[in-house]
Chain A
Amino acid sequence: MLKKKYDVIVIGAGPAGLAAAIEAKKTGAQDVLVIERAQELGGILQQCIHNGFGLQTFKKDLTGPTYAQRFIDELAGLHVDTLLDAMALNVTSERHVYVTSQSSGFVELDTRALVLAMGCRERTRAQIALPGTRPAGVYTAGTAQRFVNIEGFMPGKCFVILGSGDIGMIMARRLTFEGAKVERVLEIMPFLTGLTRNYVQCLLDYDIPLQLHHTVKRIIGNDRVEAIESVQIDEHRQPMPGTEETIPCDTLLLSVGLIPENELSRKAGVALDPVTGGPFVDEEMQTSVPGIFAAGNVVHVYDLVDWVTQAGLLCGRNAAQYAITARKHDGRRVRMKAGENVRYVIPHILDKESLAESAQLLQMRVTLPIEAPVWVEVMNGEERVTRKAELYVRPGEMVNIDLPQSAYDAVQRASELSVRVVRR
């Protein structure tokens, strides 16, 4: 059963979101909800069946699903609410969240602190403007990874992979394991863009050729990919005429980079860094909008999940602290209003509990001079909370009045207080 208002809502149940939710709960947030688009927790880790995860966090070499399982199990023991198969449609800067799912229908939720942990998306063919026909058989590496590792489909028999990112190289090995032929990995840059260990254990181990300084010039095929034409690139990233080669294949995988997924951040008015594509964050992982935090690949693309977990933990801790402070202030704050012949009062807002510790100084300026004895009165509607006598008031001379500790009870009843200056 969903609550109407949470201390912390986390959007996304990948490694960042899971870590944030766990740490938020451990820090003392009362109600924590994780909203996840997929039907299960774990995010992209569930399709990353290879090992190499957790060497820093657990000092162990784990597979992606195993790494995720540890956090899923921990979350389950902490009484964190989860809403799976659910789409967060919109988020406002006031942390009002609109969600729809088959189980809950359309719901609106409020949260004292929000954690954005939507991760990232793969760059597609359109984003790298790949020329040629538009046949079937062109996939991003991550999509192919999901087909092969979770859904049990082979997207082709004979592959060319564009991009030497980690997912591309790992898929080269994976497809080889499943009986496919990987003809070539092409990399436009003069260097490997993934980890060297993956070059060794995914490409070298299986004699899969890598060509640096090469890219796809065009895709050939009408209904289905029949071949790609590769070309060498010069140091100015221009294709070198005469170096074209036709490589027969039925599938082209793209491993050409990841982009933080920030549609919701944008809707919430979160300022984004054009370089990273993610939110501007402070050392607490708080974005430009107070109470909205962000962690993981939604902020910038990490190469190791261990770092994503670290960011999630940091973010969850701070989001919980923010929520705990906000909860303390819930219904506990009064607005200070300027009444008759008062221009303004400082502070604008007063925590009712502050009177438990000491008297609170109110400072103001009057609108018009009164050259006669006056009362400075603090009012809760028609009820007078306290007053002070002055012989005169002038706009150029600031007026001070102490709200005494004896006013504690009267202030508890108020939702706003006004200050007025009237003739005695």
Chain B
Amino acid sequence: MTQEQKKLICITCPRGCALVVTVEGETVIKTEGNSCKRGVDYATGELKDPRRMVTTTVRVKGGVHPLAPVYTESPIPKPRIFDLLAEVRKIELTAPVKFGDVVIENVLGTGINVLASRNIPAKSETS
């Protein structure tokens, strides 16, 4: 089978290493240009099953702000991002929201939870 070189930019950390990945069909043969081993994991994942952490907001009733920021507990498959956003849009929480609250469990059957990023106290609360 012929070998092929693919260029990627690792997004694991702010360093943004430029990776050159040698693949044979679906198999990663070699990863170059990475400064740490997370680059190898990223390259392997990005070619087989690209995933992204998704952060967005969800509506909150009775909070100090009308929205609570939320995030996916781990990266979700890239093609499902807009489906996930549609799911989040259906929801309205009631304050108080606590950091780490599960906003959606096992979103879209991915086994991944959507969690609140911070506390949103109810309007009358002082904390």
Nearest CB in chain A: distance from B46 CB, A? 10
Quick one: closest B residue to A61, CB to CB? B53
Q: Does A207 contact B (CB under 8 A)?
A: no
- Distance, CA A177 to CA B117, complexed state (A): 18
- Distance, CA A49 to CA B72, complexed state (A): 12
Q: Does A46 contact B (CB under 8 A)?
A: yes
Q: Does B66 contact A (CB under 8 A)?
A: yes
**Are B55 and A46 in touch, CB under 8 angstroms?**
no
- Given contacts A51-B53, A177-B85, whether A63 and B71 have CB atoms under 8 Å apart is yes
**Are A65 and B69 in touch, CB under 8 angstroms?**
yes
**Are B11 and A152 in touch, CB under 8 angstroms?**
no
- Distance, CA A50 to CA B12, complexed state (A): 14
**Are B64 and A69 in touch, CB under 8 angstroms?**
no
Instruction: Select which of B13, B67, B99 is within 8 A of A152 by beta carbon.
Output: B67
Residues of A within 8 A of B81 (CB): 177
Please encode chain A, from 42 to 72, with 1 for each CB lying within 8 Å of some chain B CB and 0 for all others.
0000100111100100000101111011000
- Given contacts A46-B118, A177-B85, whether A66 and B99 have CB atoms under 8 Å apart is yes
Nearest CB in chain B: distance from A65 CB, A? 4
- Given contacts A49-B69, A51-B55, whether A69 and B119 have CB atoms under 8 Å apart is yes
Nearest CB in chain B: distance from A289 CB, A? 34
- Given contacts A39-B64, A149-B69, whether A63 and B55 have CB atoms under 8 Å apart is yes
Q: Does A363 contact B (CB under 8 A)?
A: no
Nearest CB in chain A: distance from B96 CB, A? 14
Q: Does B52 contact A (CB under 8 A)?
A: yes
Please encode chain A, from 142 to 154, with 1 for each CB lying within 8 Å of some chain B CB and 0 for all others.
0000001111100
Please encode chain B, from 28 to 63, with 1 for each CB lying within 8 Å of some chain A CB and 0 for all others.
000000000000000000000000110111010000
Residues of B within 8 A of A52 (CB): 14
Residues of B within 8 A of A51 (CB): 53, 55, 71
**Are A40 and B64 in touch, CB under 8 angstroms?**
yes
Please encode chain A, from 358 to 375, with 1 for each CB lying within 8 Å of some chain B CB and 0 for all others.
000000000000000000
Quick one: closest B residue to A150, CB to CB? B65
Residues of B within 8 A of A236 (CB): none
Most buried by B among A46, A51, A65, A195: A65
**Are B9 and A177 in touch, CB under 8 angstroms?**
no
Q: Which of A111-119, A197-205, A267-275, A317-325 contacts B (4 or more CB under 8 A)?
A: A197-205
Nearest CB in chain A: distance from B111 CB, A? 19
Instruction: Select which of A49, A69, A195, A205 is within 8 A of B57 by beta carbon.
Output: A49
- Distance, CA A205 to CA B53, complexed state (A): 12
Instruction: Select which of B16, B85, B117, B118 is within 8 A of A195 by beta carbon.
Output: B16
**Are A197 and B67 in touch, CB under 8 angstroms?**
no
- Given contacts A66-B99, A201-B11, whether A49 and B117 have CB atoms under 8 Å apart is yes
Q: Does A303 contact B (CB under 8 A)?
A: yes
**Are B78 and A304 in touch, CB under 8 angstroms?**
no
Nearest CB in chain A: distance from B92 CB, A? 12
Q: Does A238 contact B (CB under 8 A)?
A: no
**Are A150 and B67 in touch, CB under 8 angstroms?**
yes
- Distance, CA A61 to CA B75, complexed state (A): 11
**Are A303 and B14 in touch, CB under 8 angstroms?**
yes
- Given contacts A196-B9, A200-B9, whether A66 and B65 have CB atoms under 8 Å apart is no
- Distance, CA A406 to CA B67, complexed state (A): 70
**Are B66 and A151 in touch, CB under 8 angstroms?**
yes
Residues of A within 8 A of B119 (CB): 69
A–B complex contacts, Cβ < 8 Å, 23 sampled: A39-B64, A40-B64, A46-B118, A49-B56, A51-B55, A51-B71, A55-B13, A61-B53, A63-B117, A64-B117, A65-B117, A69-B117, A69-B118, A150-B65, A151-B66, A177-B56, A177-B81, A197-B9, A197-B12, A197-B13, A197-B16, A200-B11, A205-B52
Task: Mark A residues whose CB is within 8 Å of B.
Answer: 39-40, 46, 49-52, 55, 61, 63-66, 68-69, 148-152, 177, 195-197, 199-201, 205, 303-304
In the complex, besides A49-B117, A149-B69, A196-B9, 13 extra interface pairs with C-beta distance below 8 angstroms are A39-B64, A40-B64, A51-B55, A65-B118, A69-B117, A69-B118, A69-B119, A150-B67, A151-B65, A197-B9, A197-B12, A201-B11, A304-B14
Task: Mark B residues whose CB is within 8 Å of A.
Answer: 9-16, 18, 52-53, 55-57, 59, 64-67, 69, 71, 78, 81, 85, 99, 117-119
Q: Sorted from nearest, which 9 A-B pairs have the closest CB atoms?
A: A65-B118, A196-B16, A49-B69, A197-B11, A197-B16, A65-B117, A152-B66, A63-B117, A200-B9
